[in-house]
């Protein structure tokens, strides 16, 4: 969701060449950016088909966390269904950045 309360959707887009797969989190963020949004304040992650197991199965991957750190507002909330609400710093402390934000 952006600061104007517009919600952008995403879904996993998978490929036989696993490295070309894109997670739902990044698809939603890229969808928002491509639509002109620049102030993303909240991201909700749901795992409809998550296998039973530890909560780590539901957490965003490292690539998604890096994209979140670069494109979401610093105060953004990341809500992971069945796990909790996190800040960017909780998900990726000391994130890599190319420049000052």
- The residue ranking higher by pLDDT, 43 or 101, is 43
Q: How many domains does the chain have?
A: 1
Q: How many residues does the chain have?
A: 101
* Rg, Å, the chain Cα set: 13
Please tell me the predicted confidence (pLDDT) of residue 57.
Answer: 87
Spell out the residues 6+ positions from residue 49 whose beta carbon is closer than 8 angstroms to its own: none
State percent of the chain over pLDDT 70: 97
Q: What is the pLDDT of residues 6-46, one digit of tens each?
A: 999 999 999 999 889 999 999 999 999 999 999 999 999 99
What is the domain extent for residue 71? 18-91
Answer whether residue 1 is part of any domain. Answer: no
Q: Which residues pair with 95 in a beta bridge?
A: none
CB 43 within 8 A of CB 78: yes
Residue numbers annotated as active site: 25
Residue 89: which of 74, 99, 79, 101 has the closest Cα?
74
Q: What is the CATH number of the domain that holds 71?
A: 3.40.140.10
Q: How far apart are CA 13 and CA 5, in angstroms?
A: 25
Whether the pTM exceeds 0.95: the reply is no
Please tell me the predicted confidence (pLDDT) of residue 49.
Answer: 81
For range 48-68, the mean pLDDT? 90
């Amino acid at each position: 969701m952006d600061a104007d309360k517009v919600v952008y959707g995403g879904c996993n887009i998978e490929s036989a060449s696993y490295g070309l797969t894109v997670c739902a989190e990044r698809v939603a963020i890229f969808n928002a950016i491509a639509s002109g949004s620049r102030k993303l304040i909240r991201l909700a992650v749901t795992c409809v088909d998550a296998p039973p197991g530890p909560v780590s199965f539901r957490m965003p991957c490292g690539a998604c966390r890096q994209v979140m750190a670069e494109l979401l507002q610093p105060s953004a909330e990341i809500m992971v269904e069945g796990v909790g609400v996190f800040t960017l710093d909780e998900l990726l402390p000391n994130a890599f950045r190319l420049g000052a934000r």
